[in-house]
Amino acid sequence: MIEKRDFYINGRWVAPAAPNDCDVIDPSTEEVCAVISLGSEADTDAAVAAAKAALPGWATTAPAGRLAYVEKILEIYKRRQAEMGAAISLEMGAPIDMAVDDQAEAGAWHIQNFITAFKDFEFLRPLGPQAPQTRIALEPVGVVGLITPWNWPMNQVTLKAIPALLAGCTMVLKPSEVSPLSSLLFAEIVHEAGVPPGVFNLVNGDGLGVGTRLSTHPDVEMISFTGSTRAGIAITKAAADTVKRVCLELGGKGANLIFADADDNAVRRGARHCFNNSGQSCNAPTRMLVERPLYDRAVDIAREVAETTRVAPAKETGAHIGPVVSAAQYEKIQGLIAKGIEEGARLVAGGLGRPDGLNRGYFVRPTVFADVVPGMTIEKEEIFGPVLSIIPFDTEEEALAIANDTIYGLTNYVQSADGARRNRLARQLKSGMVEMNGQSRGAGAPFGGVKASGRAREGGHWGIEEFLDVKAISGWDGK
């Protein structure tokens, strides 16, 4: 079991104002693997006060100085990447190789992309030749609250903490209480990099406690949140009275449009992508829309992928999927699989219960439903488990209509050899991102959605701008 650590406030590890222990559960074994403290209002206030006191010094540190700290963070992060992967694997069940090579690696990738974007970032820009004495200044928003989920823990923490640091903001991070271990390690890395006390603070806690206090705190200017649409709405309402900026990265129900002329690997790739991270990715392509001539073959391929996807404990090396994160998540997924069966979708692989040979741990069978009809519960709701829904279509217009008929709009996918069709669909799909023919987002591309997926843009240049206020200055002495 991991030794108990508490909060990181003002450059020091501090104990909670009042004890309130919370177990961290290893989802592969259902055993307690660590104990953390859940913070109170007093703990949150102490962290916000530290961030507020550190703000003037950090906001006026030269950009090159802030960049040097972030470069140091990256250096230490890479040195400790194996440790980071191990923490992620233990707390949320990602298989150890995947946790190091994908989960922890995502953090390093984002930090590097921010460094690249920051190098030519202009904090003071001319408006244009029509107004020679006008300048646009980009200034740090101030003290920011960062609230993150458990599914890609370091991906999300680095997408928030790093641009906040570069922008000149000071911050309080509240990681998910389900996966706090990687964030505690991240705080150690920030400390080792010598970031001045109070600039980065961490308070563990739950949504109703620390999360709500951050969302309503008068000295917090902005909340950057990644998580469920339910919590995103609650935070937006809670933050309204203090007129905070609220940036939301929420759920998704991605459609993957596979045309009959798609490359041979398109279906296999789509099914594997859906099952990756045990289906716990907001941008997972969970609705596979297949053009009729390819449909029966696609169902066979998806079945084979599900049946050959190994499910095993997180500590085992190799390419398998691990458990889902918690008992609550396991029960939710079982309920939705049952609903799919009840509503008449055709179960072609997986189904209810654990995979054979696994009697403990939150393991879910990779599941494929065919003949899913738009409007069924499994077609509408984000399942957040390894469950693929396959839907046939006859025309491009029909596929587009099904893809867009969702409250979400995060990532959609298109597989087709027809370039004109790909480009046409890319512009018509209602989502913040479109990935085609297996090409994932370019380095530094903005990550974010529309509609109930939230409207934040994280990563690269756009991600830094989220933490900046825009000021228009006229009468500037341009000499």
Residues that bind ligand NAD (CB under 6 A): 147-152, 174, 176-177, 206-207, 211-212, 215, 226-228, 231, 234-235, 249-252, 282, 382, 384, 410, 449, 453-454
Concatenated DSSP letters of 145-173:
EEE--SSSHHHHHHHHHHHHHHHT-EEEE
Q: Which residue has the tokens 């085992």?
A: 316
Instruction: Name the residue nearer to ligand NAD (CB basis): 294 or 456.
Output: 456
CA–CA dist 275, 256 (Å, integer): 14
CA–CA dist 234, 239 (Å, integer): 9
What value does the CA radius of gyration of the chain take, rounded to a whole number of Å? 23
CA–CA dist 418, 365 (Å, integer): 35
Closest CB 235 distance from ligand NAD, rounded Å: 5
Take residue 82 and report the two structure tokens written for it: 């194996």
Take residue 243 and report the two structure tokens written for it: 């007129």
Closest CB 106 distance from ligand NAD, rounded Å: 11
The candidate with the shortest Cα–Cα distance to 204, out of 241, 179, 238, is 179
Instruction: Name the residue nearer to ligand NAD (CB basis): 73 or 231.
Output: 231
In which element (H, E) is residue 172 found? strand 170-174
End-to-end Cα spacing for the chain: 63
249 is catalytic: yes
- Spell out where 227-265 has E strands: 245-249, 255-258
Which residue in 177, 249, 291, 458 is the catalytic one? 249
Instruction: Name the residue nearer to ligand NAD (CB basis): 16 or 252.
Output: 252
Instruction: Name the residue nearer to ligand NAD (CB basis): 149 or 313.
Output: 149
Closest CB 18 distance from ligand NAD, rounded Å: 19
Closest CB 194 distance from ligand NAD, rounded Å: 27
Closest CB 342 distance from ligand NAD, rounded Å: 23
The SS3 of residue 332 is helix
Which residue in 282, 379, 382, 435 is the catalytic one? 282
Instruction: Name the residue nearer to ligand NAD (CB basis): 262 or 387.
Output: 387
The candidate with the shortest Cα–Cα distance to 22, out of 224, 231, 175, is 175
Q: Which residues contact 395 (CB under 8 A, 6 or more apart)?
A: none
Instruction: Name the residue nearer to ligand NAD (CB basis): 10 or 411.
Output: 411
Instruction: Name the residue nearer to ligand NAD (CB basis): 381 or 398.
Output: 381
274 is catalytic: no
Closest CB 159 distance from ligand NAD, rounded Å: 8
Q: Which residues contact 473 (CB under 8 A, 6 or more apart)?
A: 134, 135, 136, 137
The candidate with the shortest Cα–Cα distance to 320, out of 148, 93, 168, is 93
Closest CB 157 distance from ligand NAD, rounded Å: 11
Task: Provide the CB-side half-sphere exposure for 21 (13 A, CA).
Answer: 8
What does each C-alpha distance from 73 to 180, 189, 190, 343 come to in angstroms?
A: 19, 6, 6, 50
Which residues are tagged catalytic? 249, 282
